[in-house]
Structure 1
Amino acid sequence: MKYKWFTAAFLSLCLIPAAGMLVLPEQQAAGNEHLTPKPSLWNAQTGWNAEFLGNLTDYVADHFGFRQELVTANAALQTRLLCTSPAEDVIYGTDGWLYYAKTLDDYQNHAMLTESEAQQLAQTVKSMQDYCESRGARFLFTIAPNKSSLYPEHMPARYLTEDADGSYERVLPYLEQEGVNYADLFSVFRAHANVLYYKTDSHWTNRGAALAHDYLMNTLDLPHTAFTDADYTTERSHSGDLYQMLYPKGTQKEETQVYQTSFSYVNPPRSDEDILMQTTQENAPNGRLLLCRDSFGNALHPFLAEDFREAIITRQMPYPLEQVQEGDTVIIEIVERNLPNILKYSPDLGNKTEP
């Protein structure tokens, strides 16, 4: 009899996640996580979905009831007992440091760009610069360093590095050779005594973004607010993207810096991840900014918006350089790990040189 009760209890526990899918709200992605969308058996354009069962399996695996609670509990056990991360995209380092697994090739100097691709990338950026300058705009290109490139001391020792050039090291001399207006944030951050990236996030802190802002504006030789010298307050309110991926129901927060700004959004953004944002600042010393950015622009763009009367902040790729007007300032920011995207999504500039 006791075995029947045990079997019934075991089956009931197994059914709880499935039952949870029927009564609980749909699971939301945590951090940089990408959840499988609900599959469709029939598509008006392609007909019957031959992969439906496989898609359904992936969907259930990403959306079963109490998934985030169970994932968090499992991650807590593995990180504390085994000092390893069960999340595919998160590397668990020493002292609780987390790193984005998609930066591992760069860290180990497994260049994702060949020499010819690195040269082609620099030439592509130079063509974008020429295009913008032909329209009477200033142009600046910058690469945001991967966290592991600046702070490798907490990476697990099992990840060995090769004595070779990574993608950034391959691209840099070609940028110089092509005469690209480039702001080298690697040198600026490496020269700074303080840690300017979050411990449980893949991005720079607001203090780091302020340093990047000041260096970009100094490189452009434009008037600006020196945020590295500005006052700020601190609050423990930042939830790291890597922490959310590893512990989706975790509550740990990191300290972040809060600066005072007075720019306004034309339309309030839903989040910092919006494809397009526009800002205005009546008292700014400069005209219009076109900032082509990735997720590192989440913390960077508020500082830049403070210096321009109008700012267009976009994640669109290919970069919408056809919007460039005379007198604009164009800044292209891309993180180190995404450098190949410039070749993958290079803009079609054609032969146009006039607005």
Structure 2
Amino acid sequence: MEVSAPSPAKRWLLGILLGLWLLPAVQTALYMKFLRPTRAAFEVKLPRPAFSWRQWYRGELQPAWEDYATQKLGLREWLVEPYNQLQYSVLQQSTNTQVVRGKHGMLFEVGPLQSALGRIAPATGAQVAAQVQRLRAVQDTLARRGKLLVFVIAPSKPELYPENLPDSCQRLPRRPTAYERYRQPMQAAGINVLDLAAVFRAWKRSSPYPLFPSGGTHWSGYGFVRAADTLMQYLEARGKLRLPRVRQTGLVVGAAPRYSDNDLTRLLNLLHDPAPTPPLAYPEVAFDPPAPGQRPPRLLLVGDSFGWSFIEFYPYLPQLSAPGSAYWYYNHDVAWTNGPATGPGLVADRDLRADLANTDVVLLLFNASNLADFDHGFSERAARELALGK
């Protein structure tokens, strides 16, 4: 029986299929750069697994090698965006384990979400009381030396928008959050607390623009400016300060996300980022020079990632604080100083007693979802350096 040769069209089709099949291997071997750059953000690459008979016997070595080989697969970075877009748009799923998709396209970060559900191990009542009383002692000691200490609670997105959490989260039994466990004892102890979480809940009912972006984990540009203005008014009233004037000169509505307003969206590695819903708004502000009698204070900001808003997004700290002011990121890294660059450093290497002596205002700024660690060790070290209780 005579078998006819395949037609030229079938030969071409077979060649194309074989080429596509071999292309990832060829691209891996030759590292060809003819493809467009990807916007995808990736986690830290996995190291080459070391051989271990124990891991091999327990079945752990094979998956480790599979993950390592997968990350080195040719064209992986080029294909990850279409795959993630399919998962997001068609299946309504997030491919990033740190990002949860809620209702109305709102994204949530896993850590703050777990905190809002009361799933972060809280301190005991006795521990909360001891921490609060220690901070009050530090506050009183600084006040006797003419210095102001303020604890600012920044709002948590999952706690502000519980109605947009996925149904799976809303069905979980409710547990007390760190915010609920610390707020009332701090206020009862007389600590200077500016509860912006409560302020945002009040604003939420009537705000004309989003206080949090749908695709970000931090407050929006609009929400931040309102928060910053509220904080400046609080500092002027409580610390009897006269700060330079901040004027709003305009408002841009419907602009593409700025600053960190799409930090969660970027983690999804999509072909096309969804438009913020509702549209975002960005105030334009101007800082007047100090008028006669106005003296910017030397300020020490100790806080989490919400503190970057005062430096990188809108320059409230550079403009409204005196030289020598600083931002201590999570009370661990000296992330910014107002003045000549000193380079990165560790808070543990600083002379805290000298820093407090040269500071007018100590501003502790932590998001409600980070209160499980209270002030991240600031008051404990400050009490020791100030020799409180001795």
The alignment partner of 1:219 has SS state of: helix
Q: 1:212 to 1:25 in 2, by over 3 A?
A: same
The alignment partner of 2:298 has SS state of: strand
Q: Which runs of 5+ in 1 are unaligned?
A: 42-50, 264-280
* 1:231 Cα deviation after fit: 2.9
Match runs of 1:296-307 below 5 Å: 296-301=306-311, 302-307=315-320
For 1:240, the equivalent position in structure 2 comes to 262
The count of aligned residue pairs is 325
Q: 1:82 to 1:128 in 2, by over 3 A?
A: farther
For 1:208, the equivalent position in structure 2 comes to 223
Q: Which amino acid aligns with 2:174?
A: D
* 1:246 Cα deviation after fit: 0.6
User: Distance in 1 between the 2:121 and 2:331 partners?
Assistant: 19
For 1:274, the equivalent position in structure 2 comes to none
In the alignment, is residue 333 of structure 1 matched against residue 347 of structure 2? Answer: no
For 2:157, the equivalent position in structure 1 comes to 147
User: Distance in 2 between the 1:258 and 1:236 partners?
Assistant: 14
User: Distance in 2 between the 1:68 and 1:294 partners?
Assistant: 31
Q: 1:326 to 1:68 in 2, by over 3 A?
A: same
Q: Indicate conservation of the 8 Å contact 1:85/1:246, yes or no.
A: yes
Q: Indicate conservation of the 8 Å contact 1:214/1:226, yes or no.
A: no
Q: Indicate conservation of the 8 Å contact 1:68/1:248, yes or no.
A: no
Q: 1:107 to 1:175 in 2, by over 3 A?
A: same
| TM superposition score normalised by structure 2 | 0.68
Q: Which amino acid aligns with 2:327?
A: I
Q: Which amino acid aligns with 1:223?
A: R
Q: Indicate conservation of the 8 Å contact 1:112/1:166, yes or no.
A: no
Q: Which amino acid aligns with 1:312?
A: A
Q: Which amino acid aligns with 1:94?
A: K
Of the three residues 62, 76, 97, the one matched with 2:85 is 76
Match runs of 1:111-122 below 5 Å: 111-116=120-125, 117-122=127-132
1:158-182 superposed Cα distances (whole Å, 9 cap, x missing partner): 2124333211001112212332211
1:268-299 superposed Cα distances (whole Å, 9 cap, x missing partner): xxxxxxxxxxxxx7666422111122221222
Of the three residues 77, 97, 108, the one matched with 1:99 is 108
Q: Indicate conservation of the 8 Å contact 2:26/2:74, yes or no.
A: yes
User: Distance in 2 between the 1:330 and 1:29 partners?
Assistant: 39
User: Distance in 1 between the 2:152 and 2:158 partners?
Assistant: 18
* 1:225 Cα deviation after fit: 6.0
For 1:259, the equivalent position in structure 2 comes to 284
User: Distance in 2 between the 1:173 and 1:332 partners?
Assistant: 17
Q: 1:336 to 1:65 in 2, by over 3 A?
A: farther
Q: 1:180 to 1:8 in 2, by over 3 A?
A: same
The alignment partner of 2:229 has SS state of: helix
User: Distance in 1 between the 2:224 and 2:128 partners?
Assistant: 26
Q: Which range is displaced more, 90-99 or 17-26?
A: 17-26
* 1:84 Cα deviation after fit: 1.8
Larger radius of gyration: 2
Q: Which range is displaced more, 87-96 or 325-334?
A: 325-334
User: Distance in 2 between the 1:339 and 1:112 partners?
Assistant: 11
For 2:340, the equivalent position in structure 1 comes to none
User: Distance in 1 between the 2:148 and 2:331 partners?
Assistant: 20
For 1:312, the equivalent position in structure 2 comes to 326
Q: Which amino acid aligns with 1:196?
A: L
User: Distance in 2 between the 1:124 and 1:15 partners?
Assistant: 61
In the alignment, is residue 348 of structure 1 matched against residue 366 of structure 2? Answer: no
Q: Which amino acid aligns with 2:182?
A: V
Q: 1:135 to 1:232 in 2, by over 3 A?
A: same
* 1:261 Cα deviation after fit: 3.7
User: Distance in 1 between the 2:133 and 2:27 partners?
Assistant: 53
